[in-house]
Amino acid sequence: MTTPEQGPDVPLFAPPGADPRRSVPAAPEPSSPFAAPSSAGPASPDAAPASPYTAPAPPYAPPPSYAAPASPYAPYGAPASPYATHPGVAAAHPATAPFAPPVQHARPPHEGVQPGTPHAPGLPDGTSAGSGRRRRALSAVWVVPLLLLALVAGGAGGVIGARLGQDDRLADAGLPAAPAGGGTAPAATGVTAIAADVLPSVVSIEATDAAGVATGSGFVLRQDGYLLTNSHVVASADAPGGSLVVTFSDGRELPATIVGRTAEYDLAVIKVKATGLVPLALGDSDAVRVGDPVVAIGAPLGLAGTVTTGIVSALNRPVAAGDETDTAFINAIQTDAAINPGNSGGPLVDASGQVIGINSAIAQPPSQDGAAGGSIGLGFAIPSEQARRTATQLIETGSATYPIIGVLLDSRYTGEGVKVSTEDVDGQPPVSPDGPADRAGIRPGDVILSIDDRPVTMPDELIVAIRAHEPGDVVVLAVQDGDSSRKVRVELDESS
């Protein structure tokens, strides 16, 4: 059966007796892909009845090929994405239309039509007149279950959506807390107690000059405003136009003046106008042993009130700090407590909270760019006994002296011991006439092997060992002259 808008029906199954190899002409494309078939009248009596096994062409099937419109917003074209694809990352989807054209499905044979009965005229909705009631009845049977299914799916979707949309906020967090009335807090012990006792007496120091600001640490030496620190911390403020500002643990900032300083021991005493300060006690550094626990307190990198812990890792470590014109020779206490730039001048205390050293220097591996680094576990402190003697001199006289033996040492010598120079340096003889060494019989070229049975192999070791004493002390030197060796007693003189 044909209509003005449709071609001959295409048989889905060959009727009985038909030749299955007979070719069937293809239906021509409709004039509009979305045009419904027109209502045609009954077929002519002369026309052959339509096969009961054929189905009409789908009224809404698209044409075989559909060219997408040129517009980027065509129904089957994907609009350009506003986000660029990351370089080197493949697109998540192929560059095809996100929606495929509808697929043409063959309709089943009309129900309610007996074999040999011609099809009723097509209706606008694509059904035949003879099957309308049955289709409506069949649809009614399925409507109720589908509605129930939709309600169940909607309810489940609502529950899932509500759970997904929860923000997990509560009216009361109800976090666990420590029980009330559990008794008094336990007394502070160990490092906690040491820090509580020492921190109020530790200060931060800012030294300002035309070049900028240098920072360091210090601590209260006397209750009437005397503070102890390193000489290199306050050196820039000692120049014309320089200034010092001291910050206490309670936040107070007070200007300070330099009472005295010595580059030879890298120590300085400064003073603020304040009373009632709490001084720290200077302990006995001679009683310190390797392995003793220690605590370093100061303001590394400007971070005031920093507390680090470690042990005494070595004693009598010769350290030469500073430059050629301002060199300090320190018979240092070595510690692995973290000491960084800014810790200089702060206290190194023992387990009782007494000061056994003044943090002064750190060891660092060579740097390619020359930049200063941080702690590598090798820090050095000036022993408290040395600090006590030097601070006393600075407070009483404004300057400090150090002991000497009156010889020049040969830094080029590489053998055992330390060799006395054989040449004058800048007009100064290798052995000072009528000096301590000269009076003890030491001559140019002699080799000093030890001081007080402490072997020395480098000039710095002999210097710091001598400066650990006071002028007037007597030391015993083992001296080698050629093949002979002897021990001599030397009374140390005072530097002029």
CA distance 106 to 13: 12
Up-side HSE of residue 51: CA atoms within 13 Å toward CB?
15
CA distance 482 to 105: 117
What type of residue sits at position 418? Answer: V
Report the candidate in 279, 284, 266 with the shortest Cα–Cα distance to residue 356: 284
Regions of the chain short of the pLDDT cut 70: 1-141, 143, 155-156, 158-167, 181-185, 323-325, 367-372, 496
R_g (Cα) of the chain, nearest Å: 51
pLDDT at position 457:
92
Tokens for 59? Answer: 């009224």
If one counts every other C-beta atom within 10 angstroms of the C-beta of residue 19, the result is: 7
Tokens for 404? Answer: 């000497």
pLDDT at position 184:
65
pLDDT at position 154:
73
pLDDT tens per residue, range 21-69: 444 444 444 444 444 444 444 444 444 444 444 444 444 444 443 344 4
110 is catalytic: no
Q: How far is CA 260 from the centre of its chain?
A: 42
Report the candidate in 305, 285, 303, 302 with the shortest Cα–Cα distance to residue 294: 285
Residue burial 293-326, b: 16+ Cβ < 10 Å; e: rest? bbbbbbbbeeebebbbbbebbebebbbebbeeee
Cβ(409)–Cβ(459) under 8 Å? yes
Cβ(440)–Cβ(490) under 8 Å? yes
Residue burial 109-118, b: 16+ Cβ < 10 Å; e: rest? ebeebeeeeb
Domains identified in the chain and CATH numbers: 1-77+96-119 (no CATH), 190-272 (2.40.10.10), 285-397 (2.40.10.10), 403-494 (2.30.42.10)
478 forms beta bridges with 450, 487
CA distance 7 to 146: 37
266 is catalytic: yes
CA distance 368 to 56: 89
Give burial (CB, 10 Å; 0-12/13-18/19+) of 491: middle
Tokens for 298? Answer: 């100061």
pLDDT at position 262:
95
DSSP line for 383-418 = EHHHHHHHHHHHHHHS----EE--B-B-TT--SSSE
pLDDT at position 141:
66
| Candidate list 344, 360, 384, 450, residue with the active-site label | 344
Q: What is the pTM of this model?
A: 0.64
| Candidate list 110, 119, 266, 313, residue with the active-site label | 266
pLDDT at position 22:
45
171 contact partners, CB below 8 Å, separation of at least 6: none
SS3 194: helix
Up-side HSE of residue 239: CA atoms within 13 Å toward CB?
11
pLDDT at position 153:
74
If one counts every other C-beta atom within 10 angstroms of the C-beta of residue 371, the result is: 7
pLDDT at position 367:
65
pLDDT at position 181:
61
| Candidate list 217, 232, 313, 384, residue with the active-site label | 232
Q: For the chain, first and last CA: distance in Å?
A: 134
In order of 155, 194, 377, the CA distances from 291 in angstroms are: 73, 18, 14
Cβ(101)–Cβ(66) under 8 Å? yes
Report the candidate in 382, 364, 361 with the shortest Cα–Cα distance to residue 374: 364
93 is catalytic: no
Calculate ∠ Cα 359-339-394, nearest 5°: 15
DSSP line for 267-317 = EEEEEES--S--PPPB--GGG--TT-EEEEEE-GGG-TTEEEEEEEEEEEE
To the nearest 5 percent, what fractions of the chain are helix, strand and coil? 20, 25, 55
